[in-house]
Structure 1
Amino acid sequence: MDADLDVACHLNVLAPGVSSARLPAALDTIAAAGYRRVVLPPLNPDAIDAAALRELFRVRGLTPITIAGQAPDADVSSPSGDVRAAGAALLRRALDLTVALGADQMNGVPYGVFGHPAGLTDGAAFERSAAEVGRVADESHDRGVLMTFEVLNRYETSVVNTAAQAMEYVSASGSEHLWIHLDTFHMAVEETDASVAIRTALPRLGYLELGQSGRGALSAGAVDIGGIVRQALDDGYGGRWGVEAFSRSTLDAAAADMLAIWRRPFDDGVALAVDAARTIDTGWAASNVGRRVGTTDQ
């Protein structure tokens, strides 16, 4: 990757999880392609050796990004105080694992249950969720971890679907340390204009993830990834970036079903990771930042 950007690649592009025999080769590919970070799928802290994983990342110069979530009996948006407390505890457990892995960023869907589209459209649930997540975000900041929440499309949540709603959620959280995670895949469903959405979230945008409409190669699909990269840079975005793609060729069946990945948009994760880096380079080179660097190098 030629672009001087802090970019992460999702592990599922190349391997189904951290217990896969393909993990070392996948990490080698991600590092060789110029990525600085690797996004991990949701992890069970009791089922992994955090110290061993941390060393795998360290020797390759990669920093992991973890994912936090909720469950029906552990949900920060619940009207039940006990269920909310369990939801907050689940987020703090994910934070502990994040620190143990040597990570400094925790993404995910901390505001409610993934795949539970109904029931969180009332203002009280929104406020309850934001208040709990805001407290964990402050604790994350104190421990050196940037906490983000991902804005999902309407088929995956009813809580936060747009950049404007994300800004409202940040405000409701009361935290100065909660950051927004936008994903071009979800923006293609919910936003009229992805670049306008990015500008809307820019004051609190901590992670901009690049995903194609069909979940495959970034260079082919309905989303102009290179154009989005260029415009975001020109609009002043200076945060971290991510690459995400999913295929039944690399996911295990349970994860593929949960994410509604019924096809094989790609079979070669190595080629996808390299193609994504090249697509990002194209957008970066066309941006004002990239052009200035190119002029300096001549």
Structure 2
Amino acid sequence: MSKLGIHSFVWSAGSSRNEIETALIRTKEAGFDLIELSYLDPKVVDIPWLARRLEELGLAVAISMGLPQDGDISSADAEIAKNGVAILDRAVALTRDLGGTKLGGILSSAHGYSPQAPTREAWDRSVANLSKVAERAKEAGVTLNLEIVNRFESNLLNTAAQGIAYIRDTGASNVFLHLDTFHMNIEEADLGLALRNAADKVGYVHIGESHRGYLGTGSIDFAAVFDALVAIGYNDYITFESFSSEIVDRDLSLKTAIWRNLWTDNVDLARHARTFISLGMETARRKAELVRQEQRPS
């Protein structure tokens, strides 16, 4: 069985105790194993309480985030880069304190459209700064999973192959790829081949449809995705991510252009996603078994 997760923004974009509790309960009731939370400010959220509730419900947790413009670790402005490193260090600590092991998202540069092409100098600054964070994250038992996003949300890492080169340059053993089918569908020549080429560098996977709505109602070839995940032996978390104007986080909605209302019933959406991913992975495993069977006539 695959280990399945769901992004908390399917349930709520709020961070009050009641909103988080509702997201936790609905995640558990829908049959998911992990809840992904966008970065939570320990000054606002009771982290010990949340860690306790996660343990009581038997839910794993992943933290995701995108660096702000004033925290871009690829910046030539030393103060901006320093701020980005501090932001990442706090996110690592949050992940650890919640009992999690995965920090994902746009960790290598600022999240948002850049009107300029990336430079080698920016790449090198980003690598150097992330490498320092990776050392501290390793001590905390946390992996850094670099989300590879489309060109309108970052100018640095847009393909899995670029991510592999970046990881190689860090020299860190706890830096992996966070691959998202929504973004891959825009940038990769072939989703399945990109996953197969990334192989053991894949640390976290987002499953999202081309229009961010119900899985299977857009243009993504999910059969090829599931086949590739089985082929590379991926057995870590597969997390469903979907956005609609029904639930709005102002900052993320503006950056990712969430204008359309693609669903209103998040419970039905989540249950459908769990069934879709589970069946897709099971089907891919059965196909792989058939391909490997050596049958001789009796």
> Could you say which residue in structure 1 is the equivalent of 2:292?
none
Asked if 1:258 is matched to 2:255, the reply is yes
Asked if 1:149 is matched to 2:143, the reply is no
Asked if 1:247 is matched to 2:244, the reply is yes
Residue 286 of structure 1 deviates from its aligned partner by: 1.1
For residue 177 of structure 1, the aligned residue among 174, 178, 185 is 174
Percent identity between matched residues is 31
Question: Does the Cα contact within 8 Å between 2:196 and 2:228 map onto a contact in 1?
Answer: no
Say which SS state the counterpart of residue 21 (structure 1) adopts: helix
Residue 149 of structure 1 deviates from its aligned partner by: 1.0
CA–CA separation in structure 1 for the residues paired with 2:143 and 2:3: 14
For residue 227 of structure 2, the aligned residue among 230, 250, 264 is 230
Letter in 2 for 1:56: R
Q: TM-score, normalised by structure 2?
A: 0.90
Question: Does the Cα contact within 8 Å between 2:191 and 2:224 map onto a contact in 1?
Answer: no
Aligned CA distance change for structure 1 residues 102 and 282 (closer, same or farther; 3 Å)? same
CA–CA separation in structure 1 for the residues paired with 2:200 and 2:228: 16
Letter in 1 for 2:170: S
For residue 98 of structure 2, the aligned residue among 101, 110, 114 is 101
In terms of mean alpha carbon deviation, does 136-145 or 17-26 score higher?
Answer: 17-26
Q: TM-score, normalised by structure 1?
A: 0.90
Letter in 2 for 1:111: S
CA deviation vs aligned residue, 1:25-65 (integer Å, no higher than 9, x gap): 33222112321111112322322111122222222111221
CA deviation vs aligned residue, 1:106-161 (integer Å, no higher than 9, x gap): 11211111004234511110111012112212321221112111000011111000
Aligned CA distance change for structure 1 residues 57 and 226 (closer, same or farther; 3 Å)? farther
For residue 33 of structure 2, the aligned residue among 18, 32, 36 is 36
Q: How does 1:65-76 map to 2 (within 5 A)?
A: 65-76=62-73
For residue 19 of structure 1, the aligned residue among 2, 7, 16 is 16
In terms of mean alpha carbon deviation, does 143-152 or 36-45 score higher?
Answer: 36-45
CA–CA separation in structure 2 for the residues paired with 1:86 and 1:118: 22
Asked if 1:135 is matched to 2:132, the reply is yes
Letter in 2 for 1:288: R
CA–CA separation in structure 2 for the residues paired with 1:72 and 1:235: 35
The gaps in structure 2 that reach 5 residues or longer are 290-298
CA–CA separation in structure 1 for the residues paired with 2:23 and 2:132: 35
Residue 20 of structure 1 deviates from its aligned partner by: 6.5
CA deviation vs aligned residue, 1:235-280 (integer Å, no higher than 9, x gap): 3223321110001112234432232100111111111111111111
CA–CA separation in structure 2 for the residues paired with 1:250 and 1:222: 23
Aligned CA distance change for structure 1 residues 175 and 289 (closer, same or farther; 3 Å)? farther
Say which SS state the counterpart of residue 122 (structure 2) adopts: helix
> Could you say which residue in structure 2 is the equivalent of 1:84?
81
Question: Does the Cα contact within 8 Å between 2:37 and 2:64 map onto a contact in 1?
Answer: yes
The gaps in structure 1 that reach 5 residues or longer are 293-298
Letter in 1 for 2:204: Y
Question: Does the Cα contact within 8 Å between 1:180 and 1:207 map onto a contact in 2?
Answer: yes
Residue 226 of structure 1 deviates from its aligned partner by: 4.2
Residue 291 of structure 1 deviates from its aligned partner by: 7.6
